[in-house]
Structures are given as structure tokens and as C-alpha cells.
């Protein structure tokens, strides 16, 4: 039987779907744009990919500590807003022919920071909304959305770049990010409180790194 989840959860679930889709579309579109618009080589493509993906490794633990000390909804909104701003600046640069491979990497960096912020804050927000005995079901819903985004996002980006030009994929990613923000605003701020901070942030980051290291297959 489907559990009776809080009314705010569907908004959060669709927020996650839109945010994950925006991330995957933009991640797939950036190297395509680099090749088609700037004739980028393998080294530049590798650098662009590293800028957009290594931040998860570098920032996840520090931002996780921050998420324990700030309202998660506010943190997610900030992350989504940062990603939307980076996408809009990419789009403006493309349309005005002012975008370069360097600016694509810089804006991709800030967009990736927004993605990491949002991704780190989301699990804590789910835990604050959903009763403990329903957490497994709620997290399964979020993982399903993530899987759908991973499967469809790159294909959508490639098709749009092929059919409508480089800017079309960034338009779609910006729309999806805007939808994510709009849905997240429906989640009541009072339900998204952070726990009281315990311990020194550096100690918590170290403990988290040790835990990840010991539990890595």
C-alpha cells in the first residue's frame, strides 16, 4: 500500500526531477557546444568535464556540514538559483556570440557548485518532511527521478543541439531549473529547519571523509 506522505513531498519530488534533469541536460550540452561552437579538442573537453564533475568530490562534505547548520530549503533555493543564473549567462553569451571555451568552463563551474549545494541539501530536507518509517519509500521515489533524468537528459540535450542549435539545450535546462525553483517555493519554510550544530565543522568533515574511505568498495 502506498504510504500517506506529507502534502509537501510531491512538490519536493518533482523539484528533484526537474533539478536532476536540468543538471543532466546542461552536463551533456556543454561539451557538445564546446566542440560545435569552439572546435574544442580532447584536452579542453576533459577540462570542461572535470570542472563540472570534480566539485562533487571536493565540496560534498563541506557543504554537507553547512546543510546541517542552515535551513535546507533555503540552501536548495540558493543552489538552484546559482545554477539558473549560470545557465542564463551561458545562453546570453551564446546568443550574443560572446561566449568562449574559458567562459563556458567558468560558468559551468558555478553551475556545478549550485548543483552540489542542492544535491547535498535535498536528503536532509526529505528527512525533515517525511516520517522515519516512510523514508525508504520517499528516497526510492527520488532515486527513480534521478534515474529518469540520467537516462533522458543526455539524449534530450543531444537531440536539441542537433535539431535546434547549441542554445536550445541551455534553454531547456534553464526552464527545468526555473520549474525546480518554483516547485521548491511551495515547500513550507517551517518544515525545512536544520538540526542544531554539534562539534567543530573541520572535525565533522574529517569524520565524514574517514567514513567514506572506509566504506568505499
Query: Tens of pLDDT along the chain (217 residues)?
Result: 556 777 778 888 889 899 989 999 998 888 888 888 888 888 888 888 888 777 777 776 777 677 677 778 888 899 999 999 999 999 999 889 898 988 999 999 899 888 888 888 888 788 888 888 888 888 888 888 889 988 898 888 888 888 888 789 999 999 999 999 999 998 875 444 445 455 655 665 555 555 445 555 5
Domain that holds residue 132: 8-215
> Residue 72 contacts by C-beta under 8 Å, 6 or more apart in sequence?
121, 122, 124, 125, 128, 192, 193, 194
65 part of a folded domain: yes
Q: Does 1 map to a domain? A: no
Please give the pLDDT value at position 69.
Answer: 72
Would you say residue 2 lies in a domain?
no
Q: Is residue 56 part of a domain?
A: yes
Is residue 113 in some structural domain? yes
Number of separate domains in the chain: 1
Note the pLDDT of residue 193: 47
- The span from the CA of 132 to the CA of 117, in Å, is 24
- Within a domain: 204: yes
**Residue 123 falls within a domain, yes or no?**
yes
CA 19 to CA 121: how far, in whole Å? 13
What pLDDT was estimated at residue 86?
Answer: 95
Grid cell locating 47: 577540462
Contact 153, 172 (CB under 8 A): no
DSSP secondary structure of 25-90: HHHHHHHHHHHHHH---HHHHHHHHHHHHHHHHHHHHHHHHHHTTS-HHHHHHHHHHHHHHHHHHH
CATH code of the domain containing 158: 1.20.1250.20
> How many residues would you count in the chain?
217
Looking at residue 201, what is its pLDDT?
Answer: 56
Whether 3 is in a domain gets the answer no
pTM for this entry? 0.82
CA atoms within 13 A on the CB side of 147: 6
Whole-Å CA distances, 30 to 24, 116, 141: 10, 17, 28
Amino acid at each position: 500500500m502506498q504510504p500517506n506522505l506529507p502534502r509537501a513531498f510531491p512538490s519536493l519530488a518533482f523539484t528533484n526531477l526537474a533539478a536532476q534533469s536540468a543538471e543532466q541536460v546542461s552536463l551533456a550540452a556543454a561539451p557538445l557546444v564546446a566542440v560545435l561552437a569552439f572546435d574544442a579538442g580532447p584536452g579542453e573537453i576533459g577540462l570542461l568535464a572535470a570542472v563540472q564533475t570534480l566539485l562533487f568530490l571536493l565540496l560534498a562534505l563541506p557543504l554537507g556540514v553547512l546543510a546541517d547548520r542552515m535551513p535546507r530549503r533555503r540552501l536548495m533555493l540558493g543552489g538552484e538559483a546559482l545554477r539558473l543564473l549560470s545557465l542564463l549567462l551561458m545562453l546570453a553569451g551564446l546568443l550574443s556570440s560572446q561566449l568562449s571555451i574559458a567562459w563556458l568552463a567558468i560558468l559551468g563551474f558555478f553551475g556545478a557548485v549550485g548543483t552540489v549545494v542542492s544535491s547535498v541539501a535535498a536528503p536532509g530536507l526529505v528527512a525533515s518532511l517525511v516520517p522515519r518509517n516512510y523514508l525508504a519509500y520517499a528516497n526510492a521515489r527520488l532515486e527513480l527521478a534521478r534515474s529518469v533524468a540520467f537516462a533522458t537528459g543526455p539524449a534530450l540535450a543531444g537531440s536539441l543541439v542537433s535539431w535546434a542549435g547549441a542554445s536550445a539545450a541551455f534553454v531547456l535546462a534553464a526552464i527545468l531549473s526555473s520549474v525546480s525553483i518554483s516547485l521548491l517555493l511551495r515547500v513550507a519554510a517551517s518544515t525545512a529547519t536544520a538540526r542544531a550544530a554539534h562539534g567543530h565543522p573541520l572535525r565533522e568533515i574529517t569524520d565524514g571523509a574517514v567514513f567514506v574511505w572506509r566504506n568505499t568498495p
